[in-house]
Amino acid sequence: MKMIDVGEKPKTERVATARGFVTMSAATVRRIRAGDVEKGDVLAAARLAGVMAAKKTPDLVPLCHPIALSGVDVTADPGPRGVAVTATVRTVDRTGVEMEALAAVSAACLTIYDMLKRYEKGMSIQAIELMEKKGGRSGHWVRDG
Amino acid sequence: MKMIDVGEKPKTERVATARGFVTMSAATVRRIRAGDVEKGDVLAAARLAGVMAAKKTPDLVPLCHPIALSGVDVTADPGPRGVAVTATVRTVDRTGVEMEALAAVSAACLTIYDMLKRYEKGMSIQAIELMEKKGGRSGHWVRDG
Amino acid sequence: MKMIDVGEKPKTERVATARGFVTMSAATVRRIRAGDVEKGDVLAAARLAGVMAAKKTPDLVPLCHPIALSGVDVTADPGPRGVAVTATVRTVDRTGVEMEALAAVSAACLTIYDMLKRYEKGMSIQAIELMEKKGGRSGHWVRDG
Amino acid sequence: MKMIDVGEKPKTERVATARGFVTMSAATVRRIRAGDVEKGDVLAAARLAGVMAAKKTPDLVPLCHPIALSGVDVTADPGPRGVAVTATVRTVDRTGVEMEALAAVSAACLTIYDMLKRYEKGMSIQAIELMEKKGGRSGHWVRDG
Amino acid sequence: MKMIDVGEKPKTERVATARGFVTMSAATVRRIRAGDVEKGDVLAAARLAGVMAAKKTPDLVPLCHPIALSGVDVTADPGPRGVAVTATVRTVDRTGVEMEALAAVSAACLTIYDMLKRYEKGMSIQAIELMEKKGGRSGHWVRDG
Amino acid sequence: MKMIDVGEKPKTERVATARGFVTMSAATVRRIRAGDVEKGDVLAAARLAGVMAAKKTPDLVPLCHPIALSGVDVTADPGPRGVAVTATVRTVDRTGVEMEALAAVSAACLTIYDMLKRYEKGMSIQAIELMEKKGGRSGHWVRDG
């Protein structure tokens, strides 16, 4: 078990974008849109939870480096079959921020689930995936398809 | 935004089980089985990250109650198309532990991704779902299908 | 330095309410009401930050007991001279939750300041005070005046 | 909700100083001076809690950047009507440290309240304010009056 | 890897005491006694760090249960060859608090080292040990010798 | 109490290595080697706990600077009389990483104790010491003897 040494890598600008999806019934989506959720504003809470989780990534993912994030943006968009979440994380550091983007998406999806579980237990968190990654040795990577 | 008052609910035994899946290529699964991963033992790290994340759930999910967990068990099993993760969380408290089980699965999946991303960036975290929930007002719930 | 032993005290229902105020110019209040703040929804973020801080109180206040909170509600209301914040925290435990209510108010006020500091640096956080406290040996306490 | 991107801003030396005040009765001030407080040394605990809170600011204030603090100094001085707290925080980074200074003051004030609440519940935390800020695009700012 | 289920165990009063020792030169001990340490009051900081670490034990020790501590007392006593640290932790819960007592001692010792390392790098942390444990199935245990 | 300002020090490469030892009976060492421990893989958990604790050092040790760690490696080797732990931590920063190495060793030792305490309460954590330190103003330091 080790956190691999990155001390020799240069500090460069890096960006990563990830996405995920919480599937739910149309009735539950309507509830979000109507603001009829006892715990409060689902989309605002999800976005905030995502930003905060990006900052906690090294505490959640044991072998992840602590990174000085320079920006985090999380979106949460309700559609007919659920809520789509994306997170874009930026840094100027020695290692990439894909884990931070994935952690932000995960926490935002968990928060959506938490606020709605009273109404629907069978929701599913689907397709948490890296979409794009720029900067660093591995250059520009974009998800296929 | 509020953390709903559960002070009037009785303390009862509660159990929740969740699962998730990290899809990856057969080559990456072989790498896990062969122990050929620079960061170390993927399955042990994933299980430990899952247990620790269960304990951090109220810090990750903003409106979640702090709960005195009495037990957490996380499994991570490699199969032909990836690694299946499950988490079972127990408590004797006023509210359920489904968020703790889902958070444990999420963190275990993120950890698997982190340790293997050097070999395959296109892995996907799929189907993080509650499987079963016992105890409390809503009784015994089992996922369909 | 010690965290005083409360093991002999009975678990009883306890509630505490605290308030605070962030003073600012009328122009900044208008900006909040208009939603014209680059970082996002000030009042939603403040309320969520307050709830999360209540849960982190024993980590912020060194000699404070860890308490199983049963409910937290934070409000943030803009008025002509700034934003009034209140927090009500509930538990069924051996010690009171006034520190949790005060910590929630403090974090909500800091969050309001953070989101608006780009527009006005001279805001002031005023009168963070316990308003009411019920339960436990000291009974019902209400702030004078 | 977003943590605004600061990746293009240069790393420069930055300093911020904040202050706050806990008002209390003369009897309670005497108790601090006499060291007659069951939980221990109020001023030492407050100063330490302030330094630790400065480091936790990005965890308390949701949209705040994580910053590599280079120095933190917290003072706590009893006077006739209560305890005055100040915090000075330094960094060499892309964004300012006013939130860290304000968070340090807040946590120090909460700690003072916690250690003394057994003796006086009506204490008030007053005037948490930024006093001075140096470095960065906005230059040198000093509070009026 | 699992956090073993303790849900069937009764909640009982439990106490654990641990100790440890930081060895150092007589000159460094004199510096502590004289208050001639740039970072501040070594013994107050050590005691506070110990109390706070007791509360963070489940975050530090992966398979440790979260426990509602009812009291923590940490001492730090300078002697001719270094500083002796003890921690006593109490709870009314389903599992013992020996890890909390040991974690408190460890953090107090690390804090002593940190504040004095500028003056002496060769200090050693010695004999972190459980001294006594009461309550729970295993009854009263006292260290030999 | 202050976190001393290091803003004027240059960022340089720094490495620190620390060690520690958990003494136990031969029977308990055999249990580790045989994998006969109910909580799971002792050495993997200890190593992971060590890496995670290195990242949490500024939260554990009150006056310690937050540092951007570039690498952490923790080993745990069973021998006839117990388990020897070492941690090597690297950074490119303004201050050294000896506290991070010592905190990693401490947490790994506590984790070993926790997983085995059911079998042997009298284990002792011994000789947590800095072994070597490179980089920074004080140059290369190696422990005597």
Contacts of E41 in chain D (CB under 8 A): 41, 44
pLDDT of res. B33: 97
Chain E residue nearest residue D40, CA to CA: E44
D7–A47 CB contact, under 8 Å: no
pLDDT of res. A1: 86
- Choosing from E5, E36, E93, E114, the catalytic residue is E114
Q: Which helix (H) or strand (E) holds D43?
A: helix D42-60
Instruction: Judge whether C14 is closer than 8 Å to chain B, CB to CB.
Output: no
CA distance D134 to D70: 14
Using 50, 70 and 90 to split pLDDT, how confident is the model at D139? confident
D114–C61 CB contact, under 8 Å: yes
CA distance C52 to A40: 14
Mean pLDDT on C107-118: 98
pLDDT of res. F137: 82
Contacts of F71 in chain A (CB under 8 A): 2-7
| Within-domain flag for A4 | no
Contacts of A71 in chain C (CB under 8 A): none
pLDDT of res. A145: 67
Contacts of B143 in chain A (CB under 8 A): 122
Q: What is the DSSP string of D92-132?
A: EESS--HHHHHHHHHHHHHHHHHHHTTT-TT-EEEEEEEEE
In order along its 145 residues, chain B shows pLDDT tens digits of 899 999 999 999 999 999 999 999 999 999 999 999 999 999 999 999 999 999 999 999 999 999 999 999 999 999 999 999 999 999 999 999 999 999 999 999 999 999 999 999 999 999 999 999 999 887 899 998 6
Residues of F with a catalytic annotation lie at: 114
CA distance B134 to B24: 32
Contacts of D55 in chain F (CB under 8 A): 58-59, 66
Q: Which chains touch B (3 or more CB pairs under 8 A)?
A: A, C, E, F
pLDDT, tens digit (0-9, with 9 covering 90-100), for F80-123: 999 999 999 999 999 999 999 999 999 999 999 999 999 999 99
Chain C residue nearest residue A40, CA to CA: C44
Contacts of C133 in chain D (CB under 8 A): 121
pLDDT of res. E145: 67
Two tokens at D95? 């964004």
Indicate the residue of B47, B56, B70 with minimum beta-carbon distance to E1.
B47
Mean pLDDT on D38-64: 97
D63–A47 CB contact, under 8 Å: no
Chain F residue nearest residue B52, CA to CA: F49
pLDDT, tens digit (0-9, with 9 covering 90-100), for E8-43: 999 999 999 999 999 999 999 999 999 999 999 999
Contacts of C138 in chain D (CB under 8 A): 121
Instruction: Judge whether C145 is closer than 8 Å to chain E, CB to CB.
Output: no
| Within-domain flag for E49 | yes
Chain D residue nearest residue E52, CA to CA: D49
Mean pLDDT on D15-36: 98
Instruction: Provide the domain limits for residue B114.
Output: 12-136
Q: What is the DSSP string of B5-35?
A: --TTSPPEEEEEEEEEEEE--HHHHHHHHHT
Mean pLDDT on C50-56: 98
Q: Which helix (H) or strand (E) holds B82?
A: strand B82-93
The 3-class SS string of chain F reads CEECCCCCCCCEEEEEEEEEEEECCHHHHHHHHHCCCCCCCHHHHHHHHHHHHHHHHHHHCCCCCCCCEEEEEEEEEEECCEEEEEEEEEEEECCCCHHHHHHHHHHHHHHHHHHHCCCCCCCEEEEEEEEEEECCCCCCEECCC
In this structure, are residues A129 and A106 in contact, taking their beta carbons and an 8 Å threshold? no
Place of tokens 């979000």: A32
Q: Is the sign of the CA dihedral C129, C134, C136, C140 positive or negative?
A: positive
E68–B68 CB contact, under 8 Å: yes
F125–E124 CB contact, under 8 Å: no
Instruction: Judge whether A44 is closer than 8 Å to chain C, CB to CB.
Output: yes
CA distance B22 to B109: 6
**What is the distance in angstroms between the Cα of F82 and the nearest Cα belonging to chain E?**
14
Indicate the residue of E1, E45, E110 with minimum beta-carbon distance to F1.
E45
Q: Is the sign of the CA dihedral A34, A37, A41, A46 positive or negative?
A: negative
Q: Which chains touch E (3 or more CB pairs under 8 A)?
A: B, C, D, F
B·E CB contacts under 8 A:
49
pLDDT of res. E1: 87
C2–E91 CB contact, under 8 Å: no
Instruction: Judge whether D94 is closer than 8 Å to chain A, CB to CB.
Output: yes
pLDDT at D101 over 90: yes
Instruction: Judge whether D125 is closer than 8 Å to chain C, CB to CB.
Output: yes
B72–E7 CB contact, under 8 Å: no
| Within-domain flag for A76 | yes
pLDDT at C137 over 90: no
A2–F44 CB contact, under 8 Å: no
B48–E58 CB contact, under 8 Å: no
B129–A133 CB contact, under 8 Å: no
Instruction: Judge whether D11 is closer than 8 Å to chain F, CB to CB.
Output: no
The 3-class SS string of chain C reads CEECCCCCCCCEEEEEEEEEEEECCHHHHHHHHHCCCCCCCHHHHHHHHHHHHHHHHHHHCCCCCCCCEEEEEEEEEEECCEEEEEEEEEEEECCCCHHHHHHHHHHHHHHHHHHHCCCCCCCEEEEEEEEEEECCCCCCEECCC
B48–F48 CB contact, under 8 Å: yes
| Within-domain flag for C4 | no
**What is the distance in angstroms between the Cα of E25 and the nearest Cα belonging to chain C?**
26
Given a cut of 70, the residues of chain E with pLDDT beneath it are: 145
Instruction: Judge whether D70 is closer than 8 Å to chain A, CB to CB.
Output: no
**What is the distance in angstroms between the Cα of D2 and the nearest Cα belonging to chain E?**
28
- Choosing from C77, C93, C114, C144, the catalytic residue is C114
CA distance E126 to F113: 15
pLDDT at A68 over 80: yes
Sequence-distant (6+) residues with CB within 8 A of A50 are A72, A74, A76, A85, A87, A104, A105, A107, A108, A111
| Within-domain flag for D91 | yes
Mean pLDDT on A133-141: 90
pLDDT at C24 over 90: yes
pLDDT at D145 over 90: no
pLDDT of res. C145: 67
B127–A128 CB contact, under 8 Å: no
Mean pLDDT on A110-116: 98
F121–E99 CB contact, under 8 Å: no
Residues of B with a catalytic annotation lie at: 114
**What is the distance in angstroms between the Cα of F6 and the nearest Cα belonging to chain E?**
13
C74–B4 CB contact, under 8 Å: no
| Within-domain flag for E19 | no
D70–F6 CB contact, under 8 Å: yes
Instruction: Judge whether D42 is closer than 8 Å to chain E, CB to CB.
Output: no
Indicate the residue of A48, A52, A71 with minimum beta-carbon distance to D5.
A71
Contacts of A94 in chain F (CB under 8 A): 70
Of A23, D51, F113, give the one whose Cα is nearest residue E129: F113
pLDDT of res. C138: 79
Return mean pLDDT, chain D: 96
Residues of D with a catalytic annotation lie at: 114
Task: Provide the number of structural domains found in chain E.
Answer: 1
Instruction: Judge whether C115 is closer than 8 Å to chain A, CB to CB.
Output: no
| Within-domain flag for D143 | no
pLDDT, tens digit (0-9, with 9 covering 90-100), for C66-105: 999 999 999 999 999 999 999 999 999 999 999 999 999 9
| Within-domain flag for E132 | yes
**What is the distance in angstroms between the Cα of D143 and the nearest Cα belonging to chain C?**
7
Query: What is the domain-level CATH number for residue A52?
Result: 3.30.70.640
